[in-house]
Amino acid sequence: MSNQASVKIGTHDGVFHCDEALACYLLKRLPQYKDGEIIRSRDTEKLNQCDIVVDVGSIYDPSKHRYDHHQSSFQLTLSSIFPKKDFGNVRLSSAGLVYAHFGHQIIADYLDWSKDDPKTDNVFDKVYENFIKEIDAIDNGVSQYDGEPRYHIKTNLSSRVEMLKPAWNEPSDDKIMYERFLQASKLTGEEFMDRVNYYGKIWLPARVVVLEAFKKRFEYEPNGKILVISQCVPWINHLFEIEKEHNVEGQVYFTVFFDKSWRVRGVPITQNSFELRRPLIKQWRGLRDEELSAVSKIDKCIFVHATGFIGGNHTMEGALKMALACCNDTLVTQV
């Protein structure tokens, strides 16, 4: 490694993509590359003078600091690098490669944790599944569905990086492309750090709150179908993981929590599903205030959403009564 002042990070020139923009940002989060100059070129001699090269050169060899994924021999997924975990079979892009090799250190440095702290590994997994994996899949042309989707998402990070490229009727040269690439790297990096911050400082501490509520669930419903949380925290992912750890998957039907007023929320059948284990009573859906209280025979109701996934009450007692009624109603049906 050359001295810090002359460190060079190599990637390809021309049209840029989300994966190498993020890969370069990630490298610059590391002490050894933080002041590195980004060299955009496909010239082999120039790339060989770089301290690390990503997304170009047809070489994957960490011992030589080469991280390309375009060669036909490259078929690595994150599960290949971490065989004890199941991350699926999405092939890595340059972003995924850099994240695989340096992600734990980047997260640990930002959150002021040890690289080997289990919390670091937990955040690493979540950031991959909910951020990096999408970039890997889009860059490698992996379809999100087996068939044609009902709608297409064009506001994802890869699409927004695409929009930073000079348009066909705008001027473009190496200098302009370099400046636009730096914008793309900044954009992808800011979103990456937002995810690390969320999972490390917001999502992970919420697990303690959800676990405590899970342990107390039988205090509110004899079969443990209702979780009562005194504050609004990200709970769905934690609940699914905690249920699995305790071998009671699918047991909790509703959560009752406070968010400006008390809410009762149906638990989805999967973490990302719109379908619920048990929705709120059909006859309540779309009603509000006094009308809802009269139909439900529960005081101080506020609303029930038309789809039956959530409702509100001015008191915890009222929200709990709503959840209990839904647990006990054998006529509740999905619509």
Quickly count: other Cβ atoms within 10 Å of residue 10's Cβ: 28
Share of the chain above pLDDT 90, in %: 91
The answer, yes or no, to whether residue 2 has pLDDT greater than 70, is: no
**Mean pLDDT of the 321-331 span:** 84
Q: Are 327 and 225 in contact (CB under 8 A)?
A: yes
The answer, yes or no, to whether residue 330 has pLDDT greater than 80, is: no
Take residue 242 and report the two structure tokens written for it. Answer: 């905690």
* pLDDT tens-place string over residues 160-216: 999 999 999 999 999 999 999 999 999 999 999 999 999 999 999 999 999 999 999
* pLDDT tens-place string over residues 217-261: 999 999 999 999 988 999 999 999 999 999 999 999 999 999 989
- 0.85 surpassed by pTM: yes
Q: Which pLDDT value is given to residue 329?
A: 67
Radius of gyration of the chain from its Cα atoms, rounded to whole angstroms: 25
Cα–Cα distance for residue pair 223/221, rounded to 1 Å: 6
Q: Which residue has the tokens 């994802």?
A: 156
Q: Which residue has the tokens 């927004």?
A: 160
Q: Are 83 and 41 in contact (CB under 8 A)?
A: no
* pLDDT tens-place string over residues 256-308: 999 989 999 999 999 989 999 999 999 999 999 999 999 999 999 999 999 99
**Mean pLDDT of the 36-55 span:** 98
Q: Are 77 and 100 in contact (CB under 8 A)?
A: no
Residue 145's pLDDT band, with cuts at 50, 70 and 90, is: confident
**Domain layout of the chain by residue ranges:** 4-203, 216-328
- Least confident piece of the model among 13-22, 115-124, 321-330: 321-330
Cα–Cα distance for residue pair 316/13, rounded to 1 Å: 59
The answer, yes or no, to whether residue 335 has pLDDT greater than 50, is: no
What are the two backbone dihedrals, phi and then psi, of residue 80, each rounded to the nearest 5 degrees?
A: -65, -35
**Mean pLDDT of the 302-321 span:** 97
* Mean pLDDT, rounded, of the chain: 94
Q: Which pLDDT value is given to residue 272?
A: 87
Three-state SS string over the chain comes to CCCHHHCEEEECCCCCCHHHHHHHHHHHCCCCCCCCEEEECCCHHHHHCCCEEECCCCCEEHHHCEECCCCCCCCCEHHHHCCCCCCCCCECCHHHHHHHHHHHHHHHHHHCCCCCCHHHHHHHHHHHHHHHHHHHHHHCCCCCCCCCCCCCCCCCHHHHHHCCCCCCCCCCCHHHHHHHHHHHHHHHHHHHHHHHHHHHHHHHHHHHHHHHHHHCHHHCCCCCCEEEECCCCCCHHHHHHHHHHCCCCCCCCEEEEEECEEEEEECECCCCCCCECCCCCHHHCCCEHHHHHHHHCCCCEEEECCCCCEEEECCHHHHHHHHHHHHHCCCCCCC
